[in-house]
Amino acid sequence: MLGLPYSTLSRSADVSEEKTIELSLEQTGDYEFRVRFDGSSIPDLTTDESSPLGGDAGPDPSRLLAAAVANCLSASLLFALRKFKNAPSTLKAKARASLARNEHGRWRVVRIAVELQLGDAAEALANLDRVMAQFEDFCIVTESVRQGVTVEVSVRDASGAVVHTG
Protein backbone atom coordinates (compact mmCIF):
# COMPACT_ATOMS: atom_id res chain seq x y z
CA MET A 1 0.00 0.00 0.00
CA LEU A 2 2.84 2.38 0.66
CA GLY A 3 4.48 4.28 -2.11
CA LEU A 4 1.21 4.76 -3.95
CA PRO A 5 -1.79 6.80 -2.86
CA TYR A 6 -4.47 4.46 -1.60
CA SER A 7 -6.91 5.80 -4.18
CA THR A 8 -4.68 4.56 -7.01
CA LEU A 9 -4.67 0.97 -5.81
CA SER A 10 -7.14 -1.47 -7.24
CA ARG A 11 -9.29 -3.44 -4.84
CA SER A 12 -9.78 -6.21 -7.38
CA ALA A 13 -8.24 -9.62 -7.04
CA ASP A 14 -6.75 -9.40 -10.53
CA VAL A 15 -3.15 -10.45 -9.89
CA SER A 16 -2.17 -9.65 -13.48
CA GLU A 17 -2.54 -5.92 -12.79
CA GLU A 18 0.74 -4.09 -12.37
CA LYS A 19 1.71 -0.64 -11.08
CA THR A 20 4.97 1.15 -11.84
CA ILE A 21 7.00 3.50 -9.65
CA GLU A 22 9.85 5.37 -11.30
CA LEU A 23 12.82 7.17 -9.84
CA SER A 24 16.17 8.41 -11.13
CA LEU A 25 19.59 8.56 -9.52
CA GLU A 26 22.43 10.86 -10.43
CA GLN A 27 25.89 10.69 -8.90
CA THR A 28 26.73 13.99 -7.17
CA GLY A 29 29.84 12.94 -5.26
CA ASP A 30 32.07 9.95 -4.68
CA TYR A 31 29.37 7.51 -3.46
CA GLU A 32 26.72 10.21 -3.11
CA PHE A 33 23.60 10.21 -5.28
CA ARG A 34 20.60 12.46 -5.76
CA VAL A 35 17.40 10.45 -5.97
CA ARG A 36 14.55 11.98 -7.96
CA PHE A 37 11.07 10.54 -7.61
CA ASP A 38 9.92 10.87 -11.20
CA GLY A 39 6.38 12.00 -11.88
CA SER A 40 5.85 13.32 -8.35
CA SER A 41 6.36 16.46 -6.32
CA ILE A 42 8.41 14.58 -3.72
CA PRO A 43 11.64 16.48 -2.96
CA ASP A 44 14.92 14.95 -4.07
CA LEU A 45 16.74 12.76 -1.57
CA THR A 46 20.50 12.53 -1.09
CA THR A 47 21.88 9.05 -0.43
CA ASP A 48 25.45 8.09 0.38
CA GLU A 49 27.42 5.13 1.60
CA SER A 50 28.51 5.13 5.22
CA SER A 51 32.07 6.04 6.04
CA PRO A 52 34.78 5.05 5.47
CA LEU A 53 33.57 4.25 1.92
CA GLY A 54 31.21 7.20 1.60
CA GLY A 55 30.82 10.52 3.34
CA ASP A 56 27.58 9.95 5.31
CA ALA A 57 25.84 12.75 3.36
CA GLY A 58 22.56 10.81 3.49
CA PRO A 59 21.15 7.41 4.34
CA ASP A 60 22.76 4.37 2.75
CA PRO A 61 20.67 1.70 0.97
CA SER A 62 20.52 -0.61 4.01
CA ARG A 63 19.14 2.20 6.16
CA LEU A 64 16.64 3.08 3.45
CA LEU A 65 15.49 -0.55 3.34
CA ALA A 66 14.97 -0.67 7.12
CA ALA A 67 13.17 2.70 6.99
CA ALA A 68 10.93 1.48 4.17
CA VAL A 69 9.92 -1.63 6.11
CA ALA A 70 9.26 0.31 9.34
CA ASN A 71 7.36 3.05 7.51
CA CYS A 72 5.24 0.57 5.58
CA LEU A 73 4.38 -1.41 8.72
CA SER A 74 3.49 1.80 10.58
CA ALA A 75 1.20 3.01 7.81
CA SER A 76 -0.36 -0.44 7.46
CA LEU A 77 -1.05 -0.60 11.20
CA LEU A 78 -2.58 2.87 11.09
CA PHE A 79 -4.73 1.85 8.11
CA ALA A 80 -5.93 -1.32 9.87
CA LEU A 81 -6.72 0.55 13.09
CA ARG A 82 -8.74 3.16 11.22
CA LYS A 83 -10.49 0.45 9.19
CA PHE A 84 -12.07 -0.64 12.48
CA LYS A 85 -13.10 2.95 13.33
CA ASN A 86 -10.28 3.61 15.79
CA ALA A 87 -8.73 7.07 16.09
CA PRO A 88 -5.30 6.03 17.33
CA SER A 89 -2.82 8.31 19.03
CA THR A 90 0.61 8.85 17.49
CA LEU A 91 2.43 5.67 16.45
CA LYS A 92 6.17 5.23 16.80
CA ALA A 93 8.50 2.66 15.26
CA LYS A 94 12.07 1.50 15.76
CA ALA A 95 13.85 -0.64 13.19
CA ARG A 96 17.09 -2.59 13.48
CA ALA A 97 18.70 -4.14 10.41
CA SER A 98 21.23 -6.93 10.93
CA LEU A 99 23.94 -7.40 8.34
CA ALA A 100 26.10 -10.51 7.96
CA ARG A 101 28.52 -11.82 5.41
CA ASN A 102 27.28 -14.48 3.01
CA GLU A 103 29.22 -17.54 1.82
CA HIS A 104 31.15 -15.29 -0.61
CA GLY A 105 32.10 -12.80 2.10
CA ARG A 106 29.64 -10.15 0.85
CA TRP A 107 27.58 -8.11 3.29
CA ARG A 108 23.83 -8.78 3.15
CA VAL A 109 20.82 -7.60 5.15
CA VAL A 110 19.76 -10.83 6.84
CA ARG A 111 17.15 -9.59 9.30
CA ILE A 112 15.09 -6.50 10.00
CA ALA A 113 13.38 -6.22 13.37
CA VAL A 114 10.67 -3.59 13.75
CA GLU A 115 9.03 -2.61 17.00
CA LEU A 116 5.87 -0.56 16.67
CA GLN A 117 4.63 1.44 19.65
CA LEU A 118 0.97 2.31 19.92
CA GLY A 119 0.05 5.54 21.67
CA ASP A 120 -3.00 3.92 23.24
CA ALA A 121 -3.71 1.16 25.73
CA ALA A 122 -4.77 -2.07 24.05
CA GLU A 123 -8.17 -2.05 25.73
CA ALA A 124 -8.92 1.42 24.29
CA LEU A 125 -8.73 0.11 20.70
CA ALA A 126 -11.68 -1.65 19.05
CA ASN A 127 -11.14 -5.03 17.38
CA LEU A 128 -7.41 -5.00 18.19
CA ASP A 129 -7.19 -8.78 17.69
CA ARG A 130 -8.52 -8.43 14.13
CA VAL A 131 -6.23 -5.45 13.46
CA MET A 132 -3.19 -7.42 14.61
CA ALA A 133 -4.21 -10.45 12.55
CA GLN A 134 -4.22 -8.51 9.27
CA PHE A 135 -2.13 -5.33 9.31
CA GLU A 136 1.16 -6.93 8.20
CA ASP A 137 -0.55 -8.34 5.11
CA PHE A 138 -1.41 -4.77 3.98
CA CYS A 139 2.28 -3.82 3.83
CA ILE A 140 3.62 -4.08 0.28
CA VAL A 141 7.24 -3.47 1.24
CA THR A 142 7.44 -5.87 4.19
CA GLU A 143 5.72 -8.71 2.39
CA SER A 144 7.99 -8.18 -0.63
CA VAL A 145 11.17 -7.98 1.45
CA ARG A 146 10.18 -11.13 3.35
CA GLN A 147 10.79 -13.06 0.13
CA GLY A 148 14.52 -12.83 0.91
CA VAL A 149 15.03 -11.23 4.33
CA THR A 150 13.67 -12.26 7.73
CA VAL A 151 11.40 -9.52 9.09
CA GLU A 152 10.40 -9.69 12.74
CA VAL A 153 7.58 -7.47 13.98
CA SER A 154 6.36 -6.67 17.47
CA VAL A 155 3.68 -4.23 18.60
CA ARG A 156 3.45 -2.78 22.09
CA ASP A 157 0.63 -0.73 23.52
CA ALA A 158 1.07 2.51 25.44
CA SER A 159 1.84 0.60 28.65
CA GLY A 160 4.61 -1.37 26.93
CA ALA A 161 2.67 -4.65 26.86
CA VAL A 162 3.34 -6.77 23.77
CA VAL A 163 0.07 -7.11 21.81
CA HIS A 164 1.49 -8.73 18.68
CA THR A 165 4.55 -10.54 17.35
CA GLY A 166 5.00 -11.65 13.79
Nearest in space to 39 (alpha carbons), one of 83, 4, 84, 79: 4
Instruction: For residue 84, report the phi and psi dihedrals to the nearest 5 degrees.
Output: -100, 25
Terminal Cα distance for the chain, rounded: 19
Say which residues have a Cβ less than 8 Å from residue 68's Cβ, sequence separation at least 6. 2, 141, 145
Residues 60-166, CATH architecture: 2-Layer Sandwich (3.30)
For residue 16, name the pLDDT band (cuts at 50, 70, 90).
Answer: confident
- Which pLDDT tens digit goes with each residue over 121-162? 999 999 999 999 999 999 999 999 999 999 999 999 999 999
What are the sequence ranges of the domains in the chain?
Answer: 1-7+21-58, 60-166
Q: Tell me, what amino acid is at 91? A: L
Cis peptide before 5 (omega within 30 of 0): no
